[in-house]
Amino acid sequence: MTWTPPSALERLALLRDAKTIAIVGASDNPARASYFVGTYLLSSSNYTVWFVNPMSETVLGHKAYKSLADLPAAPDIVDVFRKPSDLPEVLDEAIAAHAKTLWLQLGISDEAIAERATAAGMNVVMNRCVKIEHARFNGGLHLAGFNTGVISSRRQLS
């Protein structure tokens, strides 16, 4: 079996269908990508965001959970900000937590993990940022600090 990445329309459907996102490896350090993604999701989406970090009590003023097993419900998306060697453990937790989608952030990709997750019935997205994808599909890349290169005469909503 070979893992096939989801198309843009499939990623859009995953984001639209999701109600909850668990950020594994969430940090309260503003210099970390997980902090920026968490801030964006809290301010620009309707997702319930759960932060998973065994070393923190809170992240961005919200309770931090020690593991995926401690979440109040099964997460729709598990957004992973951990080093590649931690992926087998994170996947085991995601499967046990009945997560629907394993989402590996930019720079993180592992074909064997993708195949295991798919075999367990999960959707898999690798080497993509939830924040960038959400903003792209919702017309907000310019708001997220990206120059989209689109010139438009359409008035911006205030």
Domain contains 61: yes
Average pLDDT over residues 22-27: 97
Domain contains 153: no
Position 144 scores a pLDDT of: 46
Q: What is the CATH number of the domain that holds 23?
A: 3.40.50.720
What gap in Å lies between CA 24 and CA 58, rounded to an integer? 13
Average pLDDT over residues 41-60: 96
Number of domains in the chain: 1
Question: Which residues span the domain enclosing 17?
Answer: 8-137
Domain contains 24: yes
How many CB atoms sit inside 10 A of residue 148's CB? Answer: 13
Domain contains 69: yes
Q: Which residues contact 34 (CB under 8 A, 6 or more apart)?
A: 23, 25, 26, 27, 81
Considering 2-6, 74-78, 142-146, the range whose residues carry the highest mean pLDDT is 74-78
CA distances from 144 to 2, 98, 131 (A): 34, 31, 8
pTM more than 0.85: yes
Q: Which residues contact 78 (CB under 8 A, 6 or more apart)?
A: 21, 22, 24, 68, 90, 94, 97, 99, 101, 102, 103
Average pLDDT over residues 32-53: 95
What are 70-84's pLDDT values in tens digits? 999 999 999 999 999
CA distances from 20 to 34, 86, 109, 115, 145 (A): 16, 22, 22, 23, 24
